[in-house]
Amino acid sequence: MNATLPQTETLEIPKPPKRLLTYFEDGGRTVGSWLLTTDHKRIGILYLYSIVAFFTIGAIAAAIMRLELITPAGDLVTSDTYNKLFTIHGTVMVWFFLIPSIPSVLGNFVVPLMLGARDLAFPRLNLLSWYLFNLGGLLALYAIAIGGVDTGWTFYTPYSSTFTNTHVVTMVAGVFMAGFSSILTGLNFIVTTHKMRAPGLTWFRLPLFLWSNYATSVILVMATPVLAMTLVLLSIERIWGVGVFDPQLGGDPVLFQHLFWFYSHPAVYIMILPGMGVVSELVTCFARKPIFGYHFVAFASMAIALIGFFVWGHHMFTSGASVYSGLVFSITSYLVAVPSAIKVFNWTMTLHRGRIFLNTPMLYALGFIGLFTVGGLTGLFLAALALDVHVTDTYFVVAHFHYIMVGGMVTGFLGGLHYWWPKITGRLYPESLGRLAALIIFIGFNLTFFPQYVMGYLGMVRRYHAYAPEFQIYHVMSSAGASILGVGYLLPLIYLIWSLKHGKKAPANPWNATGLEWQTPSPPPKHNFAQTPIVTRPPYQYSAETEEHMVYG
Amino acid sequence: MTVLNPPIVPRKIYGLIWVVLLLLLLLNWGLAQLNLGPFNLVATLAIAFIQMMLMLLYLMHVRYNTPLTWVFVAAGFIWLVVMINLSLSDYLTRGAVAGRFGKSWIHETSVPPPVYLPKP
Ligand SMILES: [Cu+2]
């Protein structure tokens, strides 16, 4: 009897089509097909349009302020207009640019790809988030158009509830709506990360961007409802005179600050953790080395999310909170520096003896590490109870948080945008222009904000449109830097749009990177993967030998 | 899977929980009529806690869910405790100033007047 081999040929294996339609083509190219899409990739791009629009509005407000501040006299705008300008700048940049920037644009696009999933867990909820976000944004713009708000982005009581006659309630309603968009997006990410990981993709095989995105989502879900409630309380007091924050009605104005900062300090981590996640991806890819201390970086994200909830009182050292609470919050604020420092040290150790490629994303990542460190360390100045009394409400604070928000998050966003641009659009951006823009942004940023540390320390108070002449030199430097920064931001806008038509076609994996998002064509097909990928290795298995496969270099 | 197909909770349970909640409300009202001193507060809070747990466990189905859900519910509570506790670190110590070396935090009314040097 002859043993016959099993006839494998008879099994019919369906072959995938020669070329899968990309997500641009599959589902139609009409405007309607975009506005009603539930594809996470398309929604990510919708968010990109929205935040670029809001960024432009916030940037124009900043430009007028910097123009005003060139001279010590308040000669360009009135003080009332100036108050409205910094309120527009703060509100729009925080809620309509920074908070959705990395999570809603890049996160939306790459999270399911990195997980090996077809989409987010709740695709329609994802689209609803985008509509809520834009509705909130339009309300905020309406408040600006009918006369604006002059409270600053923090809406402090009793000024906002009792005294100002600007359009606080409309603006607050816009922020309230955008808050729900945040909550839904966070919820979506949490469920997706728990439930939709590809086979073999265990928690400790997740790319670090997913860890920081998860930590961010937890903050979004836990903190944003408090903001929503606080803003509702503010509106109730303003409209109906119900005593919550007004001492004459039995309220406490400082209670507003407690509730507001209970959200807004963790929100600072909403605005930086995703940037840290992007940098973790970039540093390991462009140093061609596995990340140093994966578990530490992953847990540092969770630790930041947790400890970030214990520190809000450091915004209230001088606003009437008790000395004892100041002491408590000062100590907890120092604690939160530990996980942040862990990340910086681990990135540095990843660079150590790496084969470093100075591509555009890496330039942004290196810029992030430096600028975040400066911003973080000056944060420790501010967390020191005694020193904070000296620099509260000065440009020192302004410089500090711009180093985190702009030097950190915007830099991280641009790094991530360049890194994933070939995946998102299927086109390569012009590398030399990219490097040039990164350099211009770094120089412009430092020229804008470093002088603010100096003048703040010397006593230049924030939110004033006229100031003592001895500060003029710093203000002129700052305004000059801002115009360089403006050019730096305009450049990517131009060449990225240019690359959509004229850029070279991107291969599936231009950086020869390890993440699952690079295992599918660029741009990806509608359902991301032809077959569900199976993960068998930890992330970031880079080695210096793989470098020759880099497209640029 | 428990998450996708949670067991159907019999209507009897819903009804029972509803009756218990109403009884607890009645008890709460009744206790408020008596003067128990500080125990009024304790009793009210205890009843509120029991009501909340009933709603969470049965009406919101937490009891029938996975441990992961319990973790998230617990995290929500711990987070609320953090918010209230750290806010109270301010409200309970308003006006208090640091005592002299070796003493703890004391209220400002009990701070002794400053000692002036005798006039020459
Ligand atoms: Cu803070």
Question: Would you tell me how many other CB atoms lie within 10 Å of the CB of residue A203?
Answer: 12
B102 falls within a domain: no
What is the maximum span of chain A, computed from C-alpha positions, in angstroms?
Answer: 105
Cβ atoms of A274 and A102 closer than 8 Å: yes
Tell me the CA–centroid distance for residue A262 and ligand 1, in Å: 9
DSSP assignment string, A39-103: -HHHHHHHHHHHHHHHHHHHHHHHHHHHHHTTSSS--SS-HHHHHHHHHHHHHHHIIIIIHHIII
Q: What is the pLDDT of residue B68?
A: 84
Residue B88's Cβ-count burial label (10 Å; 0-12, 13-18, 19+) is exposed
By Cβ distance, the residue of B79, B90, B98 closest to A313 is: B90
What are the residues whose beta carbons fall under 8 Å from the beta carbon of A542, sequence distance 6 or more? A284, A285, A287, A288, A289, A290, A514
Q: Using a CB-CB distance cutoff of 8 angstroms, which residues of chain A are in contact with residue B97?
A: 323
Mean pLDDT across chain B? 80
CB contact under 8 A, A329 and B82: no
Mean pLDDT across chain A? 91
pLDDT band of residue A544 (cuts 50, 70, 90) is: low
Higher local confidence (pLDDT), A78 or B109: A78
> Amino acid identity, residue A206?
L
By Cβ distance, the residue of A309, A312, A316 closest to B79 is: A309
CB contact under 8 A, A324 and B75: no
Q: Using a CB-CB distance cutoff of 8 angstroms, which residues of chain A are in contact with residue B68?
A: 194
Q: What is the pLDDT of residues A94-113, one digit of tens each?
A: 999 999 999 999 999 999 99
Tell me the CA–centroid distance for residue A393 and ligand 1, in Å: 13
Query: Is the model's pLDDT at A3 over the cut of 70?
Result: no
- Tokens encoding A117: 């999933």
Higher local confidence (pLDDT), A56 or B3: A56
B5 falls within a domain: no
What gap in Å lies between CA A293 and CA A211, rounded to an integer?
A: 14
What gap in Å lies between CA A121 and CA B4, rounded to an integer?
A: 13
Q: Using a CB-CB distance cutoff of 8 angstroms, which residues of chain A are in contact with residue B89?
A: 313, 322, 324-325, 328-329
How distant, in Å, are the alpha carbons of A117, A180, A213, A218, A530 from that of A184?
Answer: 19, 6, 14, 11, 28
B4 falls within a domain: no
Q: What is the pLDDT of residues A360-382, one digit of tens each?
A: 999 999 999 999 999 999 999 99
DSSP assignment string, A318-360: TTT--HHHHHHHHHHHHHHHHHHHHHHHHHHHHHTT------H
CB contact under 8 A, A254 and B90: yes
CB contact under 8 A, A322 and B76: no
Higher local confidence (pLDDT), A162 or A305: A305
Tell me the CA–centroid distance for residue A533 and ligand 1, in Å: 41
**Best A254, A315, A322, A331 residue to mutate vs chain B (most B CBs within 10 Å):** A322
Buried b (16+ CB within 10 A) or exposed e, B92-103: ebeebeeeeeee
CB contact under 8 A, A325 and B79: no
CB contact under 8 A, A322 and B86: no
Q: Using a CB-CB distance cutoff of 8 angstroms, which residues of chain B are in contact with residue A323?
A: 93, 96-98
Backbone angles phi, psi at A200, to 5 degrees: 90, -10
**Best B90, B97, B105 residue to mutate vs chain A (most A CBs within 10 Å):** B90
Q: What is the pLDDT of residue A51?
A: 95
| Chain B contact for A328 (CB, 8 A cutoff) | yes
CB contact under 8 A, B90 and A316: yes
Query: Is the model's pLDDT at A1 over the cut of 60?
Result: no
By Cβ distance, the residue of A312, A313, A322 closest to B96 is: A322
What residue numbers bound the domain in which B87 lies?
11-92
What gap in Å lies between CA A427 and CA A500, rounded to an integer?
A: 6
B111 falls within a domain: no
Q: Is the peptide bond before B113 cis (omega within 30 degrees of 0)?
A: no
Q: In this complex, how many residue pairs, one in chain A and one in chain B, have their CB atoms less than 8 Å apart?
A: 47
What gap in Å lies between CA A352 and CA A355, rounded to an integer?
A: 9
What's the rounded mean pLDDT across residues A189-209?
94
Find the residue in B nearest to A320 (Cα): B94
Tell me the CA–centroid distance for residue A164 and ligand 1, in Å: 25
What gap in Å lies between CA A529 and CA A17, rounded to an integer?
A: 13
B55 falls within a domain: yes
CB contact under 8 A, A313 and B68: no
CB contact under 8 A, A226 and B83: yes
CB contact under 8 A, A324 and B96: yes
Query: Is the model's pLDDT at A546 over the cut of 60?
Result: no
| Chain B contact for A302 (CB, 8 A cutoff) | no
Tell me the CA–centroid distance for residue A385 and ligand 1, in Å: 13
Cβ atoms of B88 and A329 closer than 8 Å: no
Ligand 1 ion: nearby residues, β-carbon < 5 Å: A 265
- The label of the residue with tokens 């975009």 reads A34
Q: What is the pLDDT of residues B1-35, one digit of tens each?
A: 344 555 677 888 889 999 999 999 999 999 989 88
Q: What is the pLDDT of residues A454-512, one digit of tens each?
A: 999 999 999 999 999 999 999 999 999 999 999 999 999 999 999 999 999 999 999 98
| CATH number for the segment(s) A20-546 | 1.20.210.10
Tell me the CA–centroid distance for residue B80 and ligand 1, in Å: 18
**Best A222, A255, A311 residue to mutate vs chain B (most B CBs within 10 Å):** A222
Is B11 strand, coil or helix? helix
Q: What is the pLDDT of residue A8?
A: 45
Chain B residues whose C-beta is within 8 A of a chain A C-beta are: 68, 75-76, 79, 82-83, 86-87, 89-91, 93-98, 105
CB contact under 8 A, A328 and B89: yes
| Chain B contact for A225 (CB, 8 A cutoff) | no
Nearest by Cα to A237 from A88, A229, A91, A140: A229
By Cβ distance, the residue of A254, A262, A322 closest to B83 is: A262
The domain segmentation of chain A, as residue ranges, is 20-546
What's the rounded mean pLDDT across residues B29-48?
89
B110 falls within a domain: no
Query: Is the model's pLDDT at A57 over the cut of 50?
Result: yes
SS3 per-residue string spanning A266-284: HHHHHCCHHHHHHHHHHHH
Q: What's the number of domains chain B is made of?
A: 1
| Chain B contact for A191 (CB, 8 A cutoff) | no
Cβ atoms of A113 and A528 closer than 8 Å: yes
Q: How far is A488 from chain B (nearest CA, A)?
A: 41
Q: How far is A187 from chain B (nearest CA, A)?
A: 12
**Best A324, A331, A332, A333 residue to mutate vs chain B (most B CBs within 10 Å):** A324
Nearest by Cα to A153 from A218, A227, A73: A227
Question: Would you tell me how many other CB atoms lie within 10 Å of the CB of residue A218?
Answer: 23
CB contact under 8 A, A321 and B90: yes
